[in-house]
Structure 1
Amino acid sequence: MKSPSNLDEMLADAQTGKYRNLVLVEGEYQEFLAKVLNTFIKINPKPSVAYYFHPWKEGSKRRLAWFESFLRPVDVDYSSSEKYLGSTFDMVIIDAIDDFRPSYISRAIETVRGGGLILIYTDKLHENKLYKSTLTRNGKVADLFEERIRRKLKEHRGIVYYHDGELLLRPFSSAEVSKPKRTKIGRYPELARLCYTDDQVKVLDEVDFLLEDGKKLLVITASRGRGKSSVMGLSLPLLIELSRFPLTVVVTSPTYWSGAEIMKFSELSLNALGKRYRRVTSKDGKILSLEVGDSRIRWLPPELARDYHGDLIIVDEAASLGKEFIDYVLRRWDKVALVTTVHGYEGSGKIFLRFLDKYEGDHDIQRLKLDSPVRYSKGDPIEKFLYDTFLLDVEADGENHVGQVVEISPDQLFHDEAKLRKVYGILVTAHYRNSPDDLMMLGDFTFQKIFVAETDVGVTQIVEEGDLTEEAVKSILQGEENLGHLIPHRLIKYWRAMEFSKFKGWRVMRIAVVPNLQGQGIGTQMLRNVENRAKEENLDWIGSSFQANYDVVKFWTKNGYIPVYLASKKNESLGGYSVIVIKPISDTARKIVDSLSLLLKDKLLRTSHQVYFNMDPRVIVSLLRSTPSVGLGVDMPDLYVRKIRAYLNGELPYNSVAESVHRLSEKYFTESKFDVDEQSLACLVSRSFQGKSWYHAGISLGIPSKIVETKLKEALSFILDKYKLN
């Protein structure tokens, strides 16, 4: 078959092959866009179209009106574009005049079906863009990410690039793809007919694994666009039909819209099976519950879902919710299905999948992988463009470390494709939630430094913060954001530590080591290198902000970093509470850091029962033990000591001595004069400070509730003896 040679043939061939084309217009755009639109409409007279833009920006609605003279698009505000993840269009038009945020662009492109067209137009990729402005400091910002976009537009096929009057066509051929198809009917023909691929039919045929006796874990993985969420939705009514008993199925996801496909396809499945059901929706049309007789499929946010009393929990985009959440769910629930993206704009789940290996033997695990796309043909050129341009499929590996840490500039990195893939692969593999925005930051920040542990086995990315103006401090105190100075911003806003504003420091934005070399001290070595460089530059502090995961907190506190801040509200999209740790360099910074850390200690001791009830108690222990001691800070009445002794002897129940246990625990963590077994302290914190039941304390710690009380008693006895309290 002859390959396309012009725009008309490209668009027509894409219809035949069910693949996508991308047109990017940079510069004067109206005349060329009119030609593209008229050509597409000739091939597809009534296309479904989505138009992505910022409707509140001046001039944006006027530009939309011009397109409406050709088409009748659905207008989509960038900020609410997540709602359209399950939608499919023949064409998307992306207004990149006001913004060119990579995550928005990627999300919009993913909603185009095979044979469709992605049309992006802008005046200049690198100027006057909203997201780009957040990467700018003192008027300086780089264009390395945008340069990379332009290079990739010229390298890939299925691309039309029109730049200031110059046209580049890189045609693709339908002979190079295989269309989505289903050849199998499987065990459930009425539902298989709703599937696009044999991969999806396989899930239907094997999902009844979850109904077998014992603890079961089903893991469904795929790159984006493989229909993993939709087939999970088709499966749920089938499980209800196959079950001998009524089922309560809980569906959860980082946001409702990231799990909406499961609820949507559950309803389609119910209709296909001829089931009568009751549909419960929110005012804005979200399907919250589907009730079939005594059975129910219900969506709940993660914090409510994890402790809900049900038979089966489905976690969509599981890797995005993080290890701590999934760890808890797998201890709490017997029947679990995890659905997660391995490669995609929401991040890599590769390291997450390795974490699941530890549950072999506890749960029976069945893993299903979907390879075939459902919206477009396999081999689609735009998928290749996205993966290559945004490095969605990079991996990290390394076999040796030469013991040297070197600095590399973003310019060097972005002009060495092999090294960029290695370095970014390490960052992606070490963090559950990444997006193309992170790649733009790596390229365009001018106030950053990048250190690499040779031979490309570890990466540290730091940003410069502090030395704020009085105007900046005032805006922070009034509640305004101060982008680019995260640590000073949080300490000024929430601790009112205005004196911290004048300090200069480095925030370790990311530090990562290839998985097979972790635990060998490479991360610590990179930190020491950064610390030495910071001292040479006469900085006041080095710090980091991250989600309060136990292993991460232990890494930082082990390396001498002092916790000074813990968010009072959980970041639901990231799955945890943000914590800030600092290693002071100057004497003045040390005094302030110590005082802030004592404030954090006090906050944890007084508010864990309400603010941090759902936090991993081991994290609280690590934070408390890493804050300064205050000497003899808490009196211990003799009556309280006698009551605790009576509890230890079995003469009084725990509830009768709870206040005495709390006082002794407060004394220990305030004074911190000796070490106690960490697990025993976690039991103490979970029951006393957080106020968990024995059962929930055991779930939080992964041990039986009887062991929780045993370990708590061991801690109490040890502390009393050390203090010589009889």
Structure 2
Amino acid sequence: MLSLTGRVKLDPRLIVEEAMNTGERRLIVISGNDSPEVASEIAKIWLSKREGRLLIATHMGINLDRIPLDDATSIDFDQTEEVLGGTWDILIADISHQFRANDIGRLIEVVRGGGLAILTIPPAEEWINSMTEFQRRFMVPPFESRGVRQLFKSRFLSSIGKRGTFLLGEEVRGELCGRVSKDRAPIERTGDPLFDLCATRDQQRVLRSILDAFKERKRAFILTANRGRGKSAVIGIALSLIMNRSKIRSAVVTSPSIEGVQTIFNFLMRGLDAQGVNYEPLIREGRIIALRFKGKDVFYLTPESAAEVEVSLKVVDEAASIPVTTLFKFLGGGFTIFSSTIHGYEGAGRGFSLRFLGRLRKSGIPHAEERMDEPIRYPPDDPVERWLYDFLLLDAEPGEPPKNLEATYREISLDSISEEYLRKFYGIYILAHYRNRPNDLATLLDAPHHFARSLEAEGEPIVSIHLAEEGGLPNSLLEDMVRGMRDLPGHMIASRIVLHYSFKSFGRLRGWRIVRIATHPELQGMGFGTRALAEVEREARGKSVDWLGAGFGATEDLLRFWVRSGYHPVHISPSRNTVTGEYSVLVLKPLSEEASKLTEEVLKEFKRRVLASLHDVYFSLNPMVARLLLKSKLDGGKAKLSTSQRSRLLGYVKGSYVYELASDAIHEVVRSYFWQGKDCLTPREEAILVAKVLQGKPWETLKSRFGVKEPYELLREIVSNLLSCLDGLRDEA
């Protein structure tokens, strides 16, 4: 057995006692060649005093045999999402070979109060100078020689030693906090078996509020909290009561992943058990996807599908990770429960509060709101929770907007940026984007081809910009990419243009991809985002960069911003994202002469594909988004009409023919209009042309989508205006 007291200056037995006595968690990081064995000994000390559950996480089982503990649950880091909702007393995670920020966020939070989170690494200097599997994906050509920056590991090690956290190894950090017990106020037992399933007073209060909102026929109930407060559990209990005691026959639950609703289903079953109701779960690949009872059913759908289905009761869990446009689709009728983490690794919950709740409150839609504060697994003010939020910047927020808004462009040195500036810089992302993950922070800090810029006023960041270098690829790799044999991570735009359009020479050009750009939420709409893009372009031109680009889930507002800034859409994914319901789009702005020539060729191929696919592959694409995809101006593309087509087109415009008799000719002139990137019609008129002529939507769809009473006559008028726009075509017709 290892001599713990001889190896370190701080006896781990005291850390174990302090955790048990305070009811708080303690984090222990062990460094050294024997760190897995030392972790086992510390776990045995804890287990010698109390029974408990043990979770072990490793990368592909490496070092698992060096943690000789029985009755433990062992998982790979790729399975961390599967343990969410579970509770363990001790965590041992060997992060020697895999160190992903997302995994740390998930694993730390499954440890209950009084327990230990133990992380093991080799000697600290050896670990800092090695690469984890997560970091290896940064080493893409031609940036390998620069090396990973290792700033995220350094950030991790320097964070250990604060209250409740300890480093044991060659260096010892951390101080015992004292032995004051933190007993919780006992939860009120009501005698109602459903309310007695609640673990905290907060849960009981929220359960009553959900039931009251349903009885009062509110349209929505919004529940927010930090992670670990039992939101999903109380929603599951409420669902069991509403479904069992009301006339509702069907309900849908949704989340960005099927794993996200498992706790809801589990507590739905516990609630039905408490009411003596028999049920039948439908399980697929070990996960519950539906529950049937008493002729009723509750089932899971992806967010986009759940928003469209017609049922009277819907539950949206982790709403912060779902676009606001999709969230508002849930408010069409019935009762919807929205649940969101305010601070957590799932997404930007504070952004959800600003973007969704702000609009909901102004809409006049009847709704109720509640917030939960009391943790389920550990006491309030748990020091390990505070450490996790500080380390991963989960609750980072921008500073107060400066009074003097005279902005300057700043090149940020990630090696020397202050913690205060980093928190404000990253906090802007959290409030502006709904798909932020801790892994994004690690990528920014470590990837050799990623870098940061900001627009700042009075020394405060007001626009945050995350960029990545792409391109400059050797011919040997480009040959493989053209043949579809290789898709290089880290080269999102370059690889897709080479792969999908076979323009090998584009891969040799150097580009900057704008990974993230976000403006302080209180300064949006004032032109700072556009100014920041202009500054990035100025710097890129000065450094002989060939192109700028970006990739994102296409919404009308976002795409309009990029098109207005001179960026051309050059690629759209063939299918929607299952979580957001959006198509992914790449935009490009050429800076050099060679990039301009290649971009024009890419645009021709892109327009051909989109124009030929709107009736099929992109039939469900938002017409307002589709028209923006087609705004780039190209030479040629003049409408080619036969004598018969010209005659029928003229007859349609004059009212002699119905649309159906001239549809082929109308399609040809509409295709010509969008090919040339004309700008004679209003955005609404263009969208109507896309919907009817290019996508083939029914007339009834035009009525409902665009609020048109007489779509037949409106379309005739739009086509007439279009002919006036196309050079000489109306006269010829």
Q: TM-score, with normalisation over the residues of structure 2? A: 0.89
- Work out whether residues 546 and 591 of structure 2, in 8 Å CA contact, stay in contact via their aligned partners in 1: yes
Equivalents in 2 of 1:174, 1:226: separation in Å? Answer: 25
Equivalents in 1 of 2:603, 2:342: separation in Å? Answer: 38
In structure 2, the CA distance between the partners of 1:673 and 1:43, relative to structure 1 (3 Å rule), is same
Q: Deviations over 1:333-368 (max 9, x none)?
A: 443222111110122222222222323435212211
- Work out whether residues 694 and 706 of structure 1, in 8 Å CA contact, stay in contact via their aligned partners in 2: no
Match of 1:142 in 2: 149
Helix, strand or coil at the partner of 2:259? helix
Equivalents in 2 of 1:180, 1:558: separation in Å? Answer: 57
Q: Which amino acid aligns with 2:156?
A: I
Deviation at 1:173, TM superposition (A): 4.4
* Aligned positions of 1:549-628 closer than 5 A: 549-573=555-579, 575-626=581-632, 628=634
Match of 2:415 in 1: 411
Equivalents in 1 of 2:703, 2:264: separation in Å? Answer: 31
Match of 2:88 in 1: 89
Q: Which amino acid aligns with 2:165?
A: I
In structure 2, the CA distance between the partners of 1:537 and 1:328, relative to structure 1 (3 Å rule), is same
Q: Does 1:107 align with 2:106?
A: yes
Q: Which amino acid aligns with 2:65?
A: A
- Work out whether residues 180 and 196 of structure 1, in 8 Å CA contact, stay in contact via their aligned partners in 2: no
In structure 2, the CA distance between the partners of 1:608 and 1:505, relative to structure 1 (3 Å rule), is same
Equivalents in 2 of 1:85, 1:698: separation in Å? Answer: 45
Q: Does 1:153 align with 2:157?
A: no
Match of 1:75 in 2: 74
Equivalents in 2 of 1:215, 1:624: separation in Å? Answer: 42
Q: Which amino acid aligns with 1:247?
A: R
Deviation at 1:708, TM superposition (A): 7.1
Helix, strand or coil at the partner of 1:167? coil
Q: Which amino acid aligns with 1:312?
A: L
Helix, strand or coil at the partner of 1:225? coil
- Work out whether residues 18 and 377 of structure 1, in 8 Å CA contact, stay in contact via their aligned partners in 2: yes
Helix, strand or coil at the partner of 2:160? helix
Select between 389-398 and 116-125 the one with higher mean Cα deviation.
Answer: 116-125
- Work out whether residues 653 and 717 of structure 2, in 8 Å CA contact, stay in contact via their aligned partners in 1: no
Helix, strand or coil at the partner of 1:525? helix
- Work out whether residues 629 and 672 of structure 1, in 8 Å CA contact, stay in contact via their aligned partners in 2: no
Select between 424-433 and 680-689 the one with higher mean Cα deviation.
Answer: 680-689
Deviation at 1:181, TM superposition (A): 5.2
Helix, strand or coil at the partner of 1:614? coil
Q: 1:232 aligns with which of 222, 235, 238?
A: 235
Where structure 2 has 5 or more consecutive residues not aligned to the other structure, the ranges are 1-9
The alignment yields a C-alpha RMSD, in angstroms, of 2.8
* Aligned positions of 1:299-314 closer than 5 A: 299-314=300-315
Q: Deviations over 1:420-462 (max 9, x none)?
A: 1111111222111111111112222332332221121112221
Equivalents in 1 of 2:661, 2:92: separation in Å? Answer: 66
Helix, strand or coil at the partner of 2:516? strand
Match of 2:673 in 1: 668
Equivalents in 1 of 2:633, 2:275: separation in Å? Answer: 59
- Work out whether residues 683 and 711 of structure 1, in 8 Å CA contact, stay in contact via their aligned partners in 2: no
Q: Deviations over 1:225-284 (max 9, x none)?
A: 1111111111112112342x23311111111001221122111111112223332222x2
Q: Does 1:641 align with 2:618?
A: no
Deviation at 1:712, TM superposition (A): 5.0
Q: 1:718 aligns with which of 695, 718, 721?
A: 721
Q: Which amino acid aligns with 1:148?
A: R
In structure 2, the CA distance between the partners of 1:485 and 1:210, relative to structure 1 (3 Å rule), is same
Equivalents in 2 of 1:327, 1:109: separation in Å? Answer: 33
Q: Which amino acid aligns with 2:336?
A: V
Equivalents in 2 of 1:598, 1:606: separation in Å? Answer: 12
Match of 2:323 in 1: 322
Select between 121-130 and 626-635 the one with higher mean Cα deviation.
Answer: 626-635
Equivalents in 1 of 2:204, 2:693: separation in Å? Answer: 50
In structure 2, the CA distance between the partners of 1:634 and 1:385, relative to structure 1 (3 Å rule), is farther
Q: Which amino acid aligns with 2:363?
A: G
Deviation at 1:581, TM superposition (A): 1.0
Q: 2:518 aligns with which of 503, 512, 523?
A: 512
- Work out whether residues 219 and 333 of structure 2, in 8 Å CA contact, stay in contact via their aligned partners in 1: no
Select between 384-393 and 661-670 the one with higher mean Cα deviation.
Answer: 661-670
Select between 555-564 and 595-604 the one with higher mean Cα deviation.
Answer: 595-604
Q: Which amino acid aligns with 2:229?
A: R
Q: Which amino acid aligns with 2:276?
A: G
Q: Does 1:337 align with 2:341?
A: no
Deviation at 1:630, TM superposition (A): 3.4
- Aligned-residue sequence identity (percent) comes to 29
Q: 2:424 aligns with which of 422, 428, 448?
A: 422
In structure 2, the CA distance between the partners of 1:214 and 1:663, relative to structure 1 (3 Å rule), is farther
Q: Which amino acid aligns with 1:84?
A: V
Q: Which amino acid aligns with 1:535?
A: R
Q: Deviations over 1:93-113 (max 9, x none)?
A: 212121111111211111111
* Aligned positions of 1:339-354 closer than 5 A: 339-354=339-354
Helix, strand or coil at the partner of 1:325? helix
- Work out whether residues 633 and 678 of structure 2, in 8 Å CA contact, stay in contact via their aligned partners in 1: no
In structure 2, the CA distance between the partners of 1:361 and 1:7, relative to structure 1 (3 Å rule), is same
Q: TM-score, with normalisation over the residues of structure 1? A: 0.90
* Aligned positions of 1:494-505 closer than 5 A: 494-505=500-511
* Aligned positions of 1:230-309 closer than 5 A: 230-243=233-246, 245-282=247-284, 284-309=285-310
Deviation at 1:590, TM superposition (A): 0.5
In structure 2, the CA distance between the partners of 1:525 and 1:511, relative to structure 1 (3 Å rule), is same
In structure 2, the CA distance between the partners of 1:310 and 1:444, relative to structure 1 (3 Å rule), is same
Match of 2:406 in 1: 402
Where structure 1 has 5 or more consecutive residues not aligned to the other structure, the ranges are none
Q: 1:50 aligns with which of 34, 55, 58?
A: 55
Match of 1:493 in 2: 499
Equivalents in 2 of 1:362, 1:18: separation in Å? Answer: 44
Deviation at 1:324, TM superposition (A): 3.0
In structure 2, the CA distance between the partners of 1:628 and 1:317, relative to structure 1 (3 Å rule), is farther
Equivalents in 2 of 1:326, 1:707: separation in Å? Answer: 30
Q: 2:173 aligns with which of 168, 173, 180?
A: 168
Equivalents in 2 of 1:675, 1:180: separation in Å? Answer: 69
Q: Which amino acid aligns with 1:119?
A: I
Equivalents in 1 of 2:243, 2:433: separation in Å? Answer: 36
Deviation at 1:668, TM superposition (A): 2.4
Deviation at 1:177, TM superposition (A): 4.7
Deviation at 1:681, TM superposition (A): 2.3
In structure 2, the CA distance between the partners of 1:224 and 1:488, relative to structure 1 (3 Å rule), is same
- Work out whether residues 234 and 265 of structure 1, in 8 Å CA contact, stay in contact via their aligned partners in 2: yes
Equivalents in 2 of 1:40, 1:363: separation in Å? Answer: 52
Helix, strand or coil at the partner of 1:412? coil
In structure 2, the CA distance between the partners of 1:166 and 1:687, relative to structure 1 (3 Å rule), is same
Match of 2:42 in 1: 36
